[in-house]
Structure 1
Amino acid sequence: MNAAGDQEKSPLPVIRDFAAQPWSEMDLVNYRSATAPGYHLFMAGIVKVFGDGVTLLQLVNAGISLLLLLNVARGAARLISPTFAAFAAAPLLCSSYFLGSSIWLTTDNAALLFVTLALGSAALAPANPVRSLRQGGFAAMAVGTRQLHVWLAAPILIAAAHRSGLLERWTPKVPVAEHPPRPGGLPALAAGAIGASMPLLLLAYFVWIWGGLIPPTFRDLHGGGDVESVAGAANFALPALAMSLLGALGVFYLPVARKQVRSLRPTDPLVVACVLVGLIAALAPETSFNPQAGRRYGWMWEIIKRAPAPMERSVVPVVLAPMGALMALLLWRTAKAAGRARQASILVFGLVCWMAAQTANAQAWQRYCEPLILIFLAWMACLAARPWRRRRTDSVDDPALIGALEPPATWENRDRLWPWIERAGPAALAGLQLLLAMYTLYWPIFSRRG
Structure 2
Amino acid sequence: MSDRVSSDRSAWRTSLFAGVLAALFVAVPAGFLIATGNNNGRAAYDATAYHARFIRALAEQFPNFDLSNPLTATTPGYHLLLACVARLGASSIESLRLASMAIGCIFVGSIAAWLSRRVGLRIALLFVLPLAGSIYVVGAAAWTLPDNLAWALVSWVLFLCLREPARARELLLASLLLVALVTVRQIHIWAAAIVWVSGLSFALESRGRSETVGGGLSVLAKMLGFVLATVPAFAVLVLFVRHWGGLTPPRFQGELQGVNLATPAFMLLEFSLLALGFLPWIAPPLRTAWRERRWILVTGALGAIVLAAIPATTLDIAAGRFSGFWSLIAKAPVIAGHTSLLMIVAAPIGAVLLTALLLGLAPRSRAVFGVALLAFAAALTATFYCWQRYHEPLLLVVLPMLCALQRERPTRASWWQLLFPLILAGILAAITVGGLRSDPVAPDALPAPSHFAPGDSFLPAPAGQ
Q: Please indicate the TM-score interval, normalised by the length of the shorter structure.
A: 0.7 to 0.9
What is the Cα deviation at residue 122 of structure 1?
A: 0.9
- The 3 A distance-change label for structure 1 pair 76 and 267 is closer
Q: 1:9 aligns with which of 37, 49, 52?
A: 49
1:331 counterpart SS class: helix
- The 3 A distance-change label for structure 1 pair 295 and 422 is same
Q: 2:287 aligns with which of 258, 262, 276?
A: 262
Question: What's 1:410 paired with?
Answer: none
1:20 counterpart SS class: helix
2:118 counterpart SS class: coil
Q: Percent identity?
A: 28
Question: What's 1:295 paired with?
Answer: 321
2:88 counterpart SS class: helix
Q: 2:259 aligns with which of 234, 237, 241?
A: 234
8 Å CA contact retained: 2:260, 2:386: yes
2:367 aligned partner, one-letter code: S
Question: What's 2:300 paired with?
Answer: 274
Question: What's 1:346 paired with?
Answer: 368
- After superposition, the C-alpha distances for 1:74-121 in whole angstroms (9 at most, x for unaligned) are 222232212212211211011111111110111111111111111221
TM-score normalised by L of structure 2: 0.78
Q: 2:194 aligns with which of 155, 160, 168?
A: 155
Question: What's 1:442 paired with?
Answer: 437
What is the Cα deviation at residue 330 of structure 1?
A: 1.5
2:322 counterpart SS class: coil
- The 3 A distance-change label for structure 1 pair 94 and 73 is same
1:165 counterpart SS class: helix
TM-score normalised by L of structure 1: 0.81
Establish whether residue 333 from structure 1 lines up as the match of residue 333 from structure 2.
Answer: no
- 5+ residue gaps in structure 2? 1-40, 209-217, 442-465
What is the Cα deviation at residue 319 of structure 1?
A: 0.8
Structure 2 Cα separation of the partners of residues 114 and 220 of structure 1: 28
- After superposition, the C-alpha distances for 1:358-413 in whole angstroms (9 at most, x for unaligned) are 11211111111111111010100111273479xxxxxxxxxxxxxxxxxxxxxxxx
1:277 aligned partner, one-letter code: G
Structure 1 Cα separation of the partners of residues 205 and 306 of structure 2: 33
Question: What's 2:330 paired with?
Answer: 305
Tell me which moved more, 56-65 or 436-445: 436-445
2:201 aligned partner, one-letter code: H
- The 3 A distance-change label for structure 1 pair 61 and 215 is same
Q: 2:72 aligns with which of 33, 48, 62?
A: 33
- The 3 A distance-change label for structure 1 pair 155 and 348 is same
Question: What's 1:402 paired with?
Answer: none
Establish whether residue 21 from structure 1 lines up as the match of residue 61 from structure 2.
Answer: yes
Question: What's 2:229 paired with?
Answer: 195
Establish whether residue 360 from structure 1 lines up as the match of residue 382 from structure 2.
Answer: yes
Structure 1 Cα separation of the partners of residues 121 and 439 of structure 2: 36
Structure 1 Cα separation of the partners of residues 135 and 407 of structure 2: 27
What is the Cα deviation at residue 281 of structure 1?
A: 1.7
Structure 1 Cα separation of the partners of residues 377 and 206 of structure 2: 24
What is the Cα deviation at residue 248 of structure 1?
A: 1.0
8 Å CA contact retained: 2:309, 2:339: yes
- The 3 A distance-change label for structure 1 pair 332 and 104 is same
Structure 2 Cα separation of the partners of residues 82 and 250 of structure 1: 21
- After superposition, the C-alpha distances for 1:312-357 in whole angstroms (9 at most, x for unaligned) are 211111111111111111212233xxxx332233123211111110
1:253 aligned partner, one-letter code: F
- The 3 A distance-change label for structure 1 pair 432 and 246 is same
Q: 2:426 aligns with which of 411, 415, 431?
A: 431
What is the Cα deviation at residue 192 of structure 1?
A: 2.1
- The 3 A distance-change label for structure 1 pair 68 and 276 is same
- After superposition, the C-alpha distances for 1:285-313 in whole angstroms (9 at most, x for unaligned) are 11110111111111x11111111222321
Structure 2 Cα separation of the partners of residues 445 and 289 of structure 1: 26
Structure 2 Cα separation of the partners of residues 346 and 355 of structure 1: 14
Tell me which moved more, 37-46 or 253-262: 253-262
Establish whether residue 286 from structure 1 lines up as the match of residue 312 from structure 2.
Answer: yes
Establish whether residue 219 from structure 1 lines up as the match of residue 253 from structure 2.
Answer: yes
- The 3 A distance-change label for structure 1 pair 304 and 343 is same
Tell me which moved more, 423-432 or 257-266: 257-266
- The 3 A distance-change label for structure 1 pair 156 and 420 is farther
1:236 aligned partner, one-letter code: L
- 5+ residue gaps in structure 1? 170-183, 224-232, 390-415
Structure 2 Cα separation of the partners of residues 267 and 152 of structure 1: 29
Structure 2 Cα separation of the partners of residues 436 and 117 of structure 1: 27
Question: What's 1:377 paired with?
Answer: 399
